[in-house]
Amino acid sequence: MTVLFYILSAIMIVSALFVVFSKNPINSVIYLIVCFIAMAGHYILLNAQFLAVVHIIVYTGAIMVLFLFVIMLLNLNKAIIPQKSRITRISAVITGGIFFLVLLAATRQTFEIHAKNTFASDIGLVSNVGKTLFRDFLLPFEISSVLFISSMVGAVMFGKKEATT
């Protein structure tokens, strides 16, 4: 089972790197989709079944498709955008690396932590997630609908063509 973990992690990281370094935005989208699918595999490994499914539906099915729509709509696959200057790219890579190191340094005390002995492995099941959602987190759930309305309104408003004055 741990082998599965390593394989999925490798796929995720490699595809993430390709997302960043590929020239064509369509390729970046494809690689991101691969990364998301690997992430869904990780969720299943952690027995978060509800999340895995929702992840695939929302992220891979909706968001990435939206990205693809926009790219195709604006004909961005044909546009060639020059890259940033070499110094900027190198410093970006270095910054990323430093950030990684800092995060690791911040969390090095967790190297000794192991899982608790008694734990319930079924918290990721749909019924349990549903129970927690609708009991403890009902209010945020309702307010998120407001959030959606506002984002829909915003998206529509942005998309409207301005009246020529």
Partner 1 sequence: MKEIASAIQLIPLWYYIMLSSALFSIGLMGVLFRRNIIVILMCIELMFNSVNLLLTAFSAYHSDPAGQVFVFFIMIVAAAEVAVGLSIVVMMKRNVESVDINLLHRLKW
Partner 2 sequence: MVETSSVLNLSWLVPAFPLAGFVIIGLGNKHLKNHIAGVIASTMTLLSFLMTCVLFFTFSSSGNQAVTQTLFSWISLGEMHISFAFLVDHLSLTMMLIITGVGTLIHVYSIGYMRADERFNTFFAQMNLFTFSMLLLVMAANYLLLFVGWEGVGLCSYLLIGFWYKNNSNNYAARKAFVMNRIGDLGFILGIILIFYTFKSVSFQEVFTKASAVQHGGTLITLITLLLLVGALGKSAQIPLYTWLPDAMAGPTPVSALIHAATMVTAGIYMIARSSILYNLAPLTLDIIIVIGLSTAILAALIGLKQNDIKKVLAYSTVSQLGYMFLALGLGAYSSAVFHVTTHAFFKALLFLGAGSIIHAMGGEQDIRQMGGLRKKMPITFYTFLVATFAISGIPPLSGFFSKDLILTQAYERSPLLFSVALFGAMLTCFYMFRLLFLVFFGEKRFVNLHVHESPKVMIIPLVILGVLSVIGGFLNIPALFGGKSEFTAYLKTSITSIELNGTSISTEWILIAFSLALVGAVIWGAWNNYVKKEHIPNADDQPMRLLPKLLYKRFYIDEAYSFLFEKPYNFLSGFFSEKIENNVLNPIIDGTGSITLRLGTYLRRLQQGNMSFYLFAMVAGILLFIVFILIV
Residues that bind partner 2 (CB under 8 A): 84, 88, 91-92, 95, 98-99, 102-103, 105-106
Each residue 66-105 as x (binds partner 1 by CB under 8 A) or -, in order, gives: xx--xx-xx-x--x-xxxx---xx-xxx-xxx-xx--xx-
Residue 105 interaction partner, one of partner 2, partner 1, none, beta carbon < 5-8 Å per kind: partner 2
CA gap 33, 19 in Å, rounded: 10
Candidate residues 119, 139, 142, 165; the one interacting with partner 1 per rule CB under 8 A: 119
The CA angle 63-64-70, to the nearest 5 degrees, is 90
For partner 1, the closer of residues 82 and 163 by Cβ is: 82
Residue 10 contact, options partner 2, partner 1, none, Cβ 5-8 Å cut-off depending on partner type: none
In the list partner 2, partner 1, none, the entry touching 124 (Cβ below 5 to 8 angstroms by class) is partner 1
CB of 25 closer than 8 Å to CB of 71: yes
Helices (H), 22-125: 25-45, 49-55, 64-73, 86-106
Name which of 35, 42, 38 is nearest 20 in CA terms. 35
Residue 87 interaction partner, one of partner 2, partner 1, none, beta carbon < 5-8 Å per kind:
none
Task: Round to whole Å and give the CA distance between 124 and 44.
Answer: 9
